[in-house]
Amino acid sequence: MTAHGARAVERCRLLADTPFSETPGSLFRFWLGPAYRRTLEQVSQWMEEAGLTTRLDAAGSLVGRYEGLVPGAPALMIGSHLDTVRNGGAFDGNLGVMLGIELVSALHEKGTRLPFAIEVMGFGDEEGSRFAAPMICSRAMAGLIDAIPEDMTDASGMSMGEAMGDYGLDPARLAEAARRPDELLAYIEPHIEQGPALESTDGQIGVVTAIAAQTRQRVTVTGQSDHAGTTPMTLRQDALTAVAEMILAVERHGAAGGDTQVATVGHVEVLPNTSNVIPGEVRFSLDMRAATDAARDVMVDAIRTDLRFIAARRGVGITFDTPQILPAAACAPELVERLARAATGVTGRPAQRLLSGAGHDAMAMVDLCPMGMLFIRSPGGLSHHPDETVRVEDVDLAHRALLAFVKEFQS
């Protein structure tokens, strides 16, 4: 076992505490916040110690570059994201950035330069924890967006443009984050699995074949607020009881596809949220994912039809807003095979191949260059949870597999 895997784990744990979190006692780091700034300062230092030069791109992501034998050569990009969900875990996203740094550190220690450059990427906003639009930074890099959403604000009412300005970024220059396809050879994202599949087979690392299609919606159900003590049950237009039935319908449709699709209501906002007032309005999130675009679309249509039927039967209004539709993203077959060979070489067993139900920056990067993903076992299948963890020996295997992959990639 090398020191590189252990150091990657140690650094992830360090970044999970103050001053790298907005909330003492738990981890929450959002794009362009004070904790995010301190994190980029620290990660920049680690990058430079490993032999990388660093810069901040126009979207506020951190880019480290290790030049190849010929300066300015196209780059193999390795990385993930540095933001987190609220009360999140230490390794989601962060581990991929640390593994990229450790890969370059291992090369730099031996004075190894490759025919191509290596760039280590720390994307700023994968989770969408501050603004309801995840993957802003990777989508900007892939050229999928060239302007910020004008009407989007955070919980404090600050617009995305104001947040960028406060950080020292110019929102009018967001398009400058876009990269040309000839600048990048491929994008590789090492990431914890965020599920139990590897652990269920006693696997340590695996190779992703594709990322599931996603649709995120915001649903608003409107009834009538009234006195909880004087309004007969038969005359109520209770938005919350309607939503309770809708959530069960969402669960039923998600389960109808077996292991290939999921549907989740994760956030509910009740208005006026008072114990003696019938809820007049409820807003909730709706997250729907499936292995293919077609299967996802069938589920989305079925859920929407069912929810409208429930609303009509209960006499409440319903509207849908769709801030995100992401197509399924297939990993490049050649990268899958190369990563599988590298994983087999360090584990001595056939590489497990997995569909990722979780979204990743790799979904955006597929529009820019070939992409692949390496999964690391998540003990207990936990992710987006403070108890999320990894095993050092698994991370070390991932480090060795990435080194092997890079050595083959240059041939």
Q: What is the pLDDT of residues 217-258, one digit of tens each?
A: 999 999 999 999 999 999 999 999 999 999 999 999 999 988
Of the ranges 63-67, 222-226, 321-325, 399-403, which one carries the lowest mean pLDDT score? 321-325
Q: Give the pLDDT mean for 358-371.
A: 94
Q: Is the pLDDT of residue 271 over 90?
A: yes
Instruction: Consult the annotation and say whether 283 binds a ligand.
Output: no
For the chain, give the longest Cα–Cα distance: 79
Q: Give the pLDDT mean for 79-100.
A: 97
Helical (H) or strand (E) element with 393: helix 392-409
What is the SS3 assignment for 241?
helix
Q: Is the pLDDT of residue 323 over 60?
A: yes
C-alpha–C-alpha distance, residues 311 and 130, integer Å: 30
Asked if the peptide bond before residue 74 counts as cis, ω within 30 degrees of 0, the response is: no
H-type helices in 168-238, by residue range? Answer: 197-200
Instruction: Consult the annotation and say whether 4 binds a ligand.
Output: no
Instruction: Consult the annotation and say whether 92 binds a ligand.
Output: yes
Asked if the peptide bond before residue 19 counts as cis, ω within 30 degrees of 0, the response is: yes
CB atoms within 10 A of CB 317: 14
Helical (H) or strand (E) element with 306: helix 293-314
Structure tokens at 300: 């989305």
Q: Give the pLDDT mean for 71-85.
A: 97
Q: In this predicted model, which residue has the larger pLDDT, 149 or 208?
A: 208
pLDDT tens figures, 285-314: 999 999 899 999 999 999 999 999 999 999
CA 292 and chain centroid, separation? 19
pTM (predicted TM-score): 0.85
Looking at residue 260, what is its pLDDT? Answer: 84
C-alpha–C-alpha distance, residues 377 and 389, integer Å: 9
Instruction: Consult the annotation and say whether 276 binds a ligand.
Output: yes
Instruction: Consult the annotation and say whether 253 binds a ligand.
Output: no
Q: In Å, what is the CA distance from 247 to each residue of 236, 243, 268?
A: 19, 6, 10
At 158, the pLDDT band (50, 70, 90 cuts) reads very high
Q: Give the pLDDT mean for 384-395.
A: 95
Phi, psi torsion values for 319, nearest 5 degrees: -135, 155
Phi, psi torsion values for 8, nearest 5 degrees: -60, -45
Half-sphere exposure of 46 (CA within 13 A, CB side): 26
Instruction: Consult the annotation and say whether 227 binds a ligand.
Output: no
Q: Is the pLDDT of residue 2 over 90?
A: no
Residue owning tokens 């109520």: 236
Instruction: Consult the annotation and say whether 304 binds a ligand.
Output: no
At 149, the pLDDT band (50, 70, 90 cuts) reads confident
Q: Which residues pair with 178 in a beta bridge?
A: none
Instruction: Consult the annotation and say whether 202 binds a ligand.
Output: no
Domains of the chain: 3-212+328-409 (3.40.630.10), 213-326 (3.30.70.360)
C-alpha–C-alpha distance, residues 159 and 229, integer Å: 40
Helical (H) or strand (E) element with 261: strand 261-264
Helical (H) or strand (E) element with 219: strand 213-222
